[in-house]
Every structure is written in structure tokens, then in C-alpha cells.
Amino acid sequence: MSASAVFILDMKGKVLISRNYKGDVDTTEIDHFLPLLMQQEEEGLTCPLLSRGKVHFLWIKHSNLYLVALTMKNSNASLVYSFLYKLVEVFTEYFKELEEESIQDNFVVVYELLDELMDFGFPQTTDSQILQEYITQEGNKLEVTKLRVPNTVTNAVSWRSEGIKYKKNEVFIDVIESVNLLVNANGNVLSSDIVGSVKLKVMLSGMPELRLGLNDRVLFGLTGRDKGKSVVMEDVKFHQCVRLSRFENDRTISFIPPDGDSELMSYRINAHVKPLIWIESVIEKFSHSRVEIMVKAKGQFKKQSVANSVQISVPVPSDVDSPRFKTSVGSAKYVPEKNVVIWTIKSFPGGKEFLMRAHFGLPSVDKDELEGRPPITVKFEIPYFTVSGIQVRYMKIIEKSGYQALPWVRYITQSGDYQLRTNS
Amino acid sequence: MPYLGSEETVKELKRALSNPNVQSDRLRYRNVILRVIRFMTQGLDMAPLFMEMVKASATVDIVQKKLVYLFMCSYATLKPDLALLAINTLLKDCADPNPMVRGLALRNMCNLRMPGVSEYIQQPILSGLRDKASYVRRAAVLGCAKMQNLQPDVEIDGAVVNELYGLLRDQDPVVMVNCLRALEEILKKEGGVVINKPIAHHLLNRMKDLDVWGQSEVLTFLLRYRPRCQSELFDILNLLDNFLGSSHSGVVAATTRLFLSLGSALPAVQSGVLERARGPLLAACNAQSRELRFVALCHVQQVLRSLPGHFGAHYKKFFCSYSEPNYIKFRKMEILVELVNDENVGTVLEELRGYCTDVSPELAQAAIFAIGRVGQTYSEKCLSILTGLLELKQEQITSAVVQTFRDLVWLCPQCSESVCASIAGCEEHIQDSEGKQALVWLLGVHGEQIPGSPYVLEEFIDALKTEQSPAVKLELLTATVRLFLSRPAETQDMLGRLLTFCIEEECDMSVRDRALFCYRLLQCGVEEAHRVLGGPKSDPSLGVIAGRPEEPINSWAGDFNTLAPVYSREDWAALTATTGGSPSLIPLVTGGAAQADLGSAEEAEAAGSAAAAAAPAAPSPPGPSEELCLVSGPPLSPELFERRWLALEPSRRVSLDWPGGDCLPETLQAALQLVNIQALALSRPHARPWKAYLYAHSLGTVVLAELLRDTDAGGLQVTLKQDPEREEALSSFLTVLKTVMQTLGNSSASLSSHD
């Protein structure tokens, strides 16, 4: 890939900050970006890829910013987008929120980062943990610190620096599975899948060597040896640090972990699982008078488990008024700016069924514009439970200084893109 | 107030920068510099402060140094003479004990884009290449490419190139990848960096050390390498196999592309790779980022061109989610239509039906057209859905449905009965000209089956004065004459009114001419009018053509994972053609050639309007230019080409002028494709002798051509062969080829026949 220049624009198309890496495009080309985009919007079809003459504009939008990469070559589109998202990721780690104000407040750091992230249009050091070792916001506070090139910039292990020290050596392992679900208005499941990931928070000194053991069922699932009982995992992906050859040979996951937070592996399960929280809804609209909503939610998971902070958002027309609710558990609230009713249930045990009724008034005059039919969405979190049954058997930590370290494991199943379409 | 008194601001800053009191207080000094950079970022011209800023670079504060470097790089082109003064400071920093400072100074010095700087940066770059800190080496390696870029005409320094090839063995992975990038840039005129066996094997062994950017890049460079034997090829496939499971979709795509290219002669390998890549590609279709999702969908479409059933089992993955932007929804619908089969047709249609009532009119319309495309195979199910949509009585929907009906009736004659039964009353809900045209066409062609057709047409005729669109009027003329032929009693009166209005009051010439044409046609007698207008009412064979044949994987494998699949094919062809010269010339020229072949332009027009009148609604009415010029026919495989080439005798030998300069194969190919000449094989740009093999279909024959260029000085030898013989096709091929070459070279080509 190669990007000739990178621009960060505000919503009006004004350049907030830019870097012309290669010098083969004129920086004024960017002035055509917003007009081109507007033109597409008028035609009803925006596209993340624009072109003018020989210049291609690849852009993404983040909060109130456009991040635009210009290229003259037939480069690899997905890599350019990945790089733009990498920029967002790095900036967010530096400024918490990436938006117009944070760019303006931190323009020095932004310049410094843009300089290190890419040179001559090629990505260089993009790991934010490593960048944070030598580009700091404190640097602006003028202490003459001895700035040196961090070892990682030269290390063979590019994702971990040497000489990390912790008083207490610990590893936190989170096994998180998100459930994506799409149900059509007739109550048929159109698609459901589970995206799992094993996340690490590593607080270990030195260069530790870790080995992670998962339950065999899952590993068999991976190799496809025992398709009968286990769910078939697709797309098992590992962090760069995992020695894939070891995994191929004897199924051990061994690695030198990056410091701090990282995602060790991810996987996807395509099997049809019973939807964990099932929603039945009746939305009746009586023109010019009222809307009546009845929503029934059922927990279709083990009785011992409990779903926490369940949020069921039910769409309502934008012109409703005088809401009234009745719920068998939890509380319901009308959020006019999003045109939804949010029904919140703090704890929802498996096997239980709850009911919510809502009543709204409608104005006697019809409004002009058509409205879409947004789906009902559900958010939830079920701790100590995974849909796939994946389990961490052991985590071995070996470091040459021989310290003892503790691994902590946590399992969570949560909602991903969980949508149920409605009839009204 | 930076925008109002910018001159004042500059003056004030200048004072502050040169104030010794400020200079001695580091915090204050840096704050002033910060202000300068802030104004620069806001777009104010800070160039007058160049001198003062250069002085500020002599500091131990590294952040201040960075800011000053940034300033210098931004304004160096404007103030080259002053920038030379900064060189000394930079040179000094290049020898700083701190590698961070050395790296920074070197990188920024190479970023000074101004003439004359190269003589100063050469030495620091060379010593930077041998620096012990990899941070400096990284900057130095890319510096070599920047230096070459600054003076593109200067001969390439062989020593530097050798040094860079040597640094491919550097232990730092980024230095290694940067070397590849730099060599590619420096040697671009010679075809880029050479990947021979030792280099390829070295790169393969280093793959696991690289970050995702490096991996993607190396995988792309490895496309250059052709393994010597099959066992080596399979070793490479085995070594890289893991990368198909990388957690980064870009690496997966790059690996897929490399495997497809390595397996270009081994179909089993290719289909195996696509099988393996299916999971990751589907996962990318559900990626968090919309843009990556979009790119993945484009690639799915590309794969579907060769393997229509490849994602059949996963069709539900392409159902649209409520919050997705339209550009994703459009792609998903296109894919859904391709994936329809006997088992899933019900579910897919139900899903598409849901989109038909979307709030976005564009999306709703696209969904209706999608149902129409499915209807070419499953007409019954689709017709009932479409008829149901008419009951909603909404403008946009009704218009789209009627347009779909028109196309369906043309392709599937069995639909006409139910279509005719359901279009009654539609005219009240159609406002746009496309919808009207479709309805009028249906009324004209199938008028005898629609009870109220004359009355509907009459309403249109009565509203003629307020009708804006000439296209609707043209359609109305043809339709009314047609209906007159089948239902004369009811239509005669209004036809008279229509013709009178169009001939006497209409201002649009095409409408007037069409009306006169109709009038004269009717004068010739009903028999004659029947013969001209009463063509076939449907053409089921077109549907088969519309369902395009499977393309070989190799036809797109080269474009995989580039920008090409992200644009639509037409857009991409147009974009790539732009690089060759003036693109608008080429299509015009083909039209001209066609007219010349016809003999008289008048005849062409007559034939054209007759054809248009007979089949106005065909998805692609066969225009005169296509029929008589080169057309894109069925693709020839290289084997078939070779066999034919050897079997045939040359029909003509001709020499053309070389377009001159470096004509890239992609450019040439794209330009030729635009005029329907297919390029089978092309030599690399600087190869001698340079050869290209082309072919084209025309007037029922195939023209095969070989272009040969022996020496730089000589022209282009063209050998043409043909099967079967047809002189006109040969000359039209030559004319087109000549124009392409001319356009590419922007120089006049002279044609001299040897025979």
C-alpha cells in the first residue's frame, strides 16, 4: 500500500491537519473532496472511495472528522482503510476522544505521531504502546527527559519492550463471546452467529513465555476431528505473537505476550444457537389516536445463569406523546431523541419471562415524511457463561527470573448486533 | 485575531522569536514556536519567519526540534535559498550521538522537497544506511527513494541500489520492508525491484517477523516471483498457508491474491485457496468498519464472477442490517440476486420485498429492480410480489415496478399476461419520465391485451402540452402508432391529434422528426407500417446473454485486493484509461469508424431510429455502431488463440509508428479494452523485442493481431490474421488500433502498407 498524503478534515471540509508524505499530489486536491462527497450524497449514493483525475480519495468518518488518504497508485484498499482506522485507534489512545477539539488541542502530538506512523507513504511504527514510549503528551510540558529510541523499535519481538517491571505479576484473561442475531418480522431467525475472543491484560515483568491450554473440545472443533458433538469454529485467528507452527503441531498456544491489553485470539461460530433472549412484540398503531406496544422477553439460557443490565430498545414513531408504561419487572423510559422506549432489567434469570406494555398518544394530524422501520435491539451481558463452552484449562507463565505469577480468568457472553425486526 | 491582521501577527512573532530574552527562557521560546506552528496549521503564511525558525532548531529540546523541522519541510519549496542555510544544522544533527535525533534529522532533511538539496543529503544517507541504530537505517533507506524522486532524470546510482539489496538482509524487519519499497520506487522505470530465488526465499523466511503492513507488502512483492518447479511452488504455498488464517483481513487478502497468482496454471490450487479464503472473506463482510465491509463485499462479487455458487450456503450473511449505509446495502442486494437458487429463493425474495418499502427511494427502487432480475428465472413468485407492491400506490414504487415489468415482459414472454392484467390504474401513480416511458411502451406493445389501453394513452396525449420529457413523447409516438395497428378504431382519432401536435407545435427536433417519420410510414400503408413496427414483442434469448458466462479466475486474480474491484468495472476502465491520454477521444472514434463503414450517415440514422422504434425497451438495443464495429465477443483462451494463429495465414502486414515513451501495459490494455480489442498477452514495457497479442470480434469474424517492436528506433510491426476472411472488418480493426496508438502517444502515426 502507499498513501501519498493523509488529511484530517472537519465536517465542513476544512483541513485541520495534514501530512503530504510523498509530494506527488498537490495538497490543494483535498479541496475537491467535500464537493465530490456532496455531489454523491445528492445522487443518493455515497461511497467510501472517490476519485478525481488520477487521485483516489479513500475516507472514513469518525465523530466530527473526516480522515482522508490520497493515493495515486492502484493500492490495496483494505489496507489503506485499516491504516486510517489505525490512526483513529492511536489517536484515541492518546486523547481518549478523537474529535475536532482534541485534534486542535493536541496538534503537536498529532504532528509527531503522523511523522512516526508513516514515512514516504508507508506505515512505519504503528503500535501505540511502542509509540507511547517515545512520544508523550508530557513531552510538551517541557522536562528535558532523556529521549531515546525504545528497544522495541529494534527488537526482534516487535510487540514487547525489554525491561518491563511490575511489583505484582498478574495476567487477566477475559473470554468474551458476543452474539449477533437477526430475526425477521415473522419471528424466523435469519442469521445468528457468535464472535468470540480471548483478551489479555498482561502485567508481567521481563520477557515471559506463556502457554495457554483450552479445553479439548474446542481444539477438536478447530481441527474438525470431532464434528459430531462440538460446535465448528470458523476463522480462528491469533495475535501475531502466537507461534502458529507450534499450534499446528501440537495445538499448544504459546507466545510472548504484549504488555497491557491485547486480543490473543478470536473465533467465530456459525451454528444455530437458540437466541439467548427471545422477544415477542405486538405494536399496534391506531392512526390519529394511539400506539399500543406489548413486548414479551424470555430468557432462553440455563436457569443458574443471570443476564445483567438487559436493555431492550423498542422503536416508536417520532411524533408520539404522553407515554405510559407497565412492566412486570425493571423500568421503561421513553427516549424522544432516539425515538425508542428503553426497557431496562437489571438482572434477568434464565428461564424467566417478563412483560412490558406501553401506551402512547398520536397527534391527529399526519406528518409528511416517511419513516423507516428500525428493529428492536437488545443489549445484555451474561457473566460466567460461554455459548460455545470454551474453557481455559491452564495458563503457564515462565520467565527466566522465575517469579510466580497469577492468572485470572473471566467468562462473559454479551450481545453483539442483536436485532429483531418489527411489523409496524 | 489570526485571520484579520496576519501581517501584524507575523511581525509580532518575528520580534518574539528574535528577542534574546525569549530565547533564553526555553518555555517561552517553545511557546512562541508553538504559536507559529498553530498558525501554519490554520493555513496562514508563516514563510517570512523562516530565518528565525531555522535558528530555533539548534536546541536540545527534541519536541522543539521536531516542530522546527516540520516548519522547514513545509516552507522549503517556497524559500529554497534560506532552506539551504538550515542544511548545516540538519547535517550536524545527523551526527548527533542520540539515534533519535539522527533519525529525525535525516528523515526531515530528505523531506525537503527543493532543487539542489540532493548533493547535501547524499552523504548523510549513505552513512545512515550503515548506522547502528535501526531507527536511522529505516529513515535512510526511504531517504534513498526520496532522493531519486527529487531528481528523476539523474541516472540511478548503482552503488546505492546494491547497498539496498544488501540491506534486505538487515535484522530489523522494517528496514527490510523499507528496502523493498525504496528499490521499487527507485527502479520503477526498469520494472521495479527484482525478486530472484534467494531474495524470495529470504523474504518467505522473514514473513513471521513482520507487522501486518510489512506482511501485506512482502506478499505483494512476491507476486513477481515465479517458482522454478512445482515442488518449490508447493513449498511456498505450505510456508505461507498460515497467513490465510491471519487475524488481519488485509494479510488474508494479500495471501489469497498471491496464491491465486501462483496457481494460475493449477485450477485445483486456485479453487482450494478460494475455498479456504471464504471464511475470512465472509468474516470481513461483517467487519466492524463499514469501509472494510464494503471492500470485502466488492471482493465477494469478484469471486462470484468465476464461482457463482461459492457463497450460496451463506446467503443470509448478505441480508442488510438496518443501520448499514446504502453503499453496503446496494452491494449486498446485488450479491443476493446472484446467490438465488431453488432452495433459498423464497427467503431471499421475502427479504428483498422488505427493502422495497425502505425510506430511501434509491434503495427501494434498487430492491424492486433486484426482484426483477430474480424474476428472469423465478417469474411467478416475483410477479406476485411486484403486483402486491402496486397496491401500495406510491409513486416511486409504482414507477420502479412498471419499469421492471417492461424488462420482464421483454425477456420472459410468459409473464405478459399477468403483467397486462395488473398494470391497470398505474398511470395515476407515475410521475417520473422513466416510469412513464415504461408504461407507454407496455401499452403500445401489449395494447391488445390491456382493455383500457387506448384511454390511458389518450390521457397522456391530452397532457402532452405539459409533458417535459422528449423521451416520453418519442415513446408515446411509437406506442400510439403501434396501438393503432392493433386497435385502429379506438386509436385513430387520438393518433391524428398526437401527430398534429408533434409536427406543428413541438419544439424538440427529435420528437418532430419522429412524428414525421411515423406519418410517412403510415402513408406507405398499414402493411408497411406493420413490417417496420411489428417486430418481436419479446426476446427471451437476451436473458441468457444477461446471465453472463462464468469468467476464468485468472481474468480478475491480478486485480484482487487492489482498488480495481472496489470501483465498478466501467468506472475502473474509465479511470485507468485516463492515464493513457484523452479518454473521450476513443469512444468517439469508434462511432466514426462505424459510420464510415456504413457509407451514408442518413442511412445510419434511419436504421437507428427504426431499430429504436422496434425495440425501445430492450436492455441493450443493438445499436448500429456496435453491430458494424468491433464487439466484445466470447473470450479466446490463450491455447485457442495459439492454435488459430498457427493455422492461419497472415492477411496483412502493416507498420505503425510507436506511440513513444513508456507505454505501460495496463494503460494499453485498458485503452484497447475500451474499443473492444482484447489483449491476450503483452511484454513488459522495456523488453526487446516487445510483443503483444490482440484479438477482436467484428462482423462475425475474429481478427488476430501481433504487435512487434524489435528496436527502440523502429516502428511497430503489425501482423493481422483473420478467420474467416472479411476485408471491412480488417480495415476497421486497423483504424481503431491506429487511433488508440495515436491517442496514447499523442503523436501522429503514419500508415504505410507493405503489401
Q: Shortest Cα distance from A207 to chain B (angstroms)? A: 17
**Percent of chain B residues topping a pLDDT of 70:** 86
Q: Do A419 and B66 touch (CB under 8 A)?
A: no
A11 in contact with chain B, both atoms CB, cutoff 8 A: no
Q: pLDDT value at position A178?
A: 92
Q: Do B561 and A78 touch (CB under 8 A)?
A: yes
A190 in contact with chain B, both atoms CB, cutoff 8 A: yes
Q: Do A44 and B360 touch (CB under 8 A)?
A: yes
Residues of A in contact with B133 (CB under 8 A): 149, 154
Q: What SS3 state is found at B131?
A: coil
Output the nine-digit C-alpha cell for A235: 476463522
Task: Say yes or no to pLDDT of B746 above 90.
Answer: no
Average pLDDT of B546-558? Answer: 76
Q: Do B566 and A49 touch (CB under 8 A)?
A: yes
Write the CA distances from B488 to B494, B526, B537, integer angstroms: 10, 10, 19
Q: Cα angle at B741 between B740 and B742, to 5 degrees?
A: 90
Nearest by CB to residue A149, choosing from B135, B330, B563, is B135
Q: Do B70 and A111 touch (CB under 8 A)?
A: yes
Q: pLDDT value at position B570?
A: 76
Rounded CA separation B202/A355 (Å): 65
Nearest by CB to residue B113, choosing from A23, A45, A156, is A23
Indicate which of A14, A31, A55, A78 best probes the interface with B, i.e. most B CBs within 10 Å of its own CB.
A78
User: Which residues contact residue A125 at a Cβ distance below 8 angstroms, ignoring those fewer than 6 apart?
Assistant: A116, A117, A131, A153, B174
Helix intervals (H) in B487-566: 488-504, 509-523, 526-533, 540-546, 554-557
List, as ranges, residues 74-113 from A with C-beta within 8 Å of B.
74-79, 81-85, 107-108, 111-112
Q: pLDDT value at position B610?
A: 42
Cα dihedral B230→B231→B236→B242 (10° resolution): 110
Query: What is the 3 state secondary structure string of A20-67?
Result: ECCCCCCHHHHHHHHHHHHHHHHHCCCCCEEEECCEEEEEEEECCEEE
- Residue A162: left (phi > 0), alpha (psi -120 to 50), or beta? beta
Task: Say yes or no to pLDDT of B588 above 50.
Answer: no
The HSE-up count of residue B1 (CA atoms within 13 Å, CB side) is 4
Q: Shortest Cα distance from B249 to chain A (angstroms)? A: 8
Nearest by CB to residue B358, choosing from A236, A237, A372, is A372
Q: Do A237 and B246 touch (CB under 8 A)?
A: yes
Output the nine-digit C-alpha cell for B431: 410521475
Q: Binning pLDDT at 50, 70 and 90, where does residue B594 land? A: very low
Rounded CA separation B204/B219 (Å): 9
Name the closest residue on chain A to residue B328, using Cα atoms: A47
Residues of A in contact with B317 (CB under 8 A): 191
pLDDT in tens, B175-229: 999 999 999 989 988 888 889 999 999 999 998 888 889 999 999 999 999 898 9
Q: pLDDT value at position B630?
A: 60
Q: Do B354 and A421 touch (CB under 8 A)?
A: yes
Residues of B in contact with A190 (CB under 8 A): 316, 319, 347, 351
Average pLDDT of A256-262? Answer: 89
Rounded CA separation B414/B398 (Å): 21
Average pLDDT of B80-95? Answer: 84
Q: Do A120 and B359 touch (CB under 8 A)?
A: no
Beta-sheet pairing, A253-255 with A306-315:
unpaired
Task: Say yes or no to pLDDT of B416 above 70.
Answer: yes
Q: Cα angle at B212 between A224 and A93, to 5 degrees?
A: 110
Q: Do A112 and B567 touch (CB under 8 A)?
A: no
Q: Binning pLDDT at 50, 70 and 90, where does residue A380 land? A: very high
A158 in contact with chain B, both atoms CB, cutoff 8 A: yes
Task: Say yes or no to pLDDT of B511 above 80.
Answer: yes
Q: pLDDT value at position B699?
A: 64
Residues of A in contact with B350 (CB under 8 A): 184
pLDDT in tens, A298-342: 999 988 899 999 999 999 988 888 999 999 999 999 999 989 999
Residues of B in contact with A263 (CB under 8 A): 247
User: Which residues contact residue B328 at a Cβ distance below 8 angstroms, ignoring those fewer than 6 apart?
Assistant: B290, B293, B294, B297, B320
Average pLDDT of B238-262? Answer: 88
Residue with the bigger pLDDT between B750 and A219: it is A219
Q: Do A419 and B172 touch (CB under 8 A)?
A: no
Task: Say yes or no to pLDDT of B616 above 60.
Answer: no
pLDDT in tens, B261-281: 998 888 888 988 898 888 888
Residues of B in contact with A370 (CB under 8 A): 359
List, as ranges, residues 223-262 from A with C-beta within 8 Å of B.
234-240, 244-245, 248
Range from B21-30, B110-119, B393-402 that averages highest in pLDDT: B393-402
- A·B CB contacts under 8 A: 210
Mean pLDDT rounded to a whole number for chain B: 81
Indicate which of A7, A120, A131, A318 best probes the interface with B, i.e. most B CBs within 10 Å of its own CB.
A120
**Percent of chain A residues topping a pLDDT of 70:** 89
Q: pLDDT value at position B659?
A: 62
pLDDT in tens, A84-136: 999 999 999 888 889 999 998 888 899 999 999 999 999 998 888 788 878 87
A318 in contact with chain B, both atoms CB, cutoff 8 A: no
Task: Say yes or no to pLDDT of B323 above 50.
Answer: yes
Q: What SS3 state is found at B717?
A: strand
Q: What SS3 state is found at B696?
A: strand
Q: Binning pLDDT at 50, 70 and 90, where does residue A175 land? A: very high
Q: Do B330 and A2 touch (CB under 8 A)?
A: no
How big is chain A, counted in residues? 424
Helix (H) / strand (E) containing B690: strand B690-698
Output the nine-digit C-alpha cell for A374: 428500525
Sign of CA dihedral B205, B206, B208, B214: negative
Residue with the bigger pLDDT between B752 and B152: it is B152
Name the closest residue on chain B to residue A85, using Cα atoms: B289
CB B305 within 8 A of CB A176: no
Name the closest residue on chain A to residue B25, using Cα atoms: A142
Residues of A in contact with B292 (CB under 8 A): 78, 81-82, 85
Residues of A in contact with B212 (CB under 8 A): 82, 240
Q: Do A123 and B30 touch (CB under 8 A)?
A: no
Q: Do A107 and B178 touch (CB under 8 A)?
A: no
Task: Say yes or no to pLDDT of B623 above 80.
Answer: no
CB A299 within 8 A of CB A307: yes
State the CB neighbour count (10 A cutoff) for residue B523.
9
Q: Do B242 and A23 touch (CB under 8 A)?
A: no
Task: Say yes or no to pLDDT of B303 above 80.
Answer: yes
**Percent of chain B residues topping a pLDDT of 90:** 26
Q: Do A372 and B286 touch (CB under 8 A)?
A: no
DSSP code per residue over B659-687: --S---HHHHHHHHHHTTPEEEEE--TT-
Task: Say yes or no to pLDDT of B502 above 50.
Answer: yes
Helix intervals (H) in B525-637: 526-533, 540-546, 554-557, 569-578, 585-598, 601-614, 624-628
Q: Shortest Cα distance from B359 to chain A (angstroms)? A: 5
Q: Shortest Cα distance from A228 to chain B (angstroms)? A: 20
CB A120 within 8 A of CB B145: yes
pLDDT in tens, B629-677: 565 566 677 777 777 777 777 777 777 776 655 556 667 777 777 777 7
Burial of residue A163 (CB within 10 Å: 0-12, 13-18, 19+) is: exposed
ipTM for the whole complex? 0.79
Give A282's strand partners.
Answer: A294
Q: pLDDT value at position A45?
A: 79
pLDDT in tens, A196-214: 999 999 999 988 999 988 8
Residue with the bigger pLDDT between A340 and A270: it is A340
Indicate which of B213, B244, B339 best probes the interface with A, i.e. most A CBs within 10 Å of its own CB.
B213
Task: Say yes or no to pLDDT of B248 above 80.
Answer: yes
State the CB neighbour count (10 A cutoff) for residue B647.
9
CB B656 within 8 A of CB B749: yes
Q: pLDDT value at position B183?
A: 93
Q: pLDDT value at position A424?
A: 60
Query: What is the 3 state secondary structure string of chain A?
Result: CCCCEEEEEECCCCEEEEEECCCCCCHHHHHHHHHHHHHHHHHCCCCCEEEECCEEEEEEEECCEEEEEEECCCCCHHHHHHHHHHHHHHHHHHHCCCCHHHHHHCHHHHHHHHHHHEECCEECCCCHHHHHHHCCCHHHHCCCCCCCCCHHHCCCCCCCCCCCCCCCCEEEEEEEEEEEEEECCCCCEEEEEEEEEEEEEEECCCCCEEEEEECHHHHHHHHCCCCCCCCCEEEEEECCCECHHHHHHHCCEEECCCCEEEEEEEEEECCCCCCCEEEEEEEEEECCCEEEEEEEEEECCCCCCEEEEEEEEEECCCCCEEEEEEECCCEEEEEHHHCEEEEEEEEEECCCEEEEEEEEECCCCCCCCCCCCCCEEEEEEEECCCCCCCCEEEEEEECCCCCCCEEEEEEEEEEEEEEECCCC
Output the nine-digit C-alpha cell for B686: 522495456
CB B360 within 8 A of CB B328: no
Rounded CA separation B503/B520 (Å): 12
Residues of A in contact with B279 (CB under 8 A): 234-235, 268
Q: Do B209 and A184 touch (CB under 8 A)?
A: no
How big is chain B, counted in residues? 755
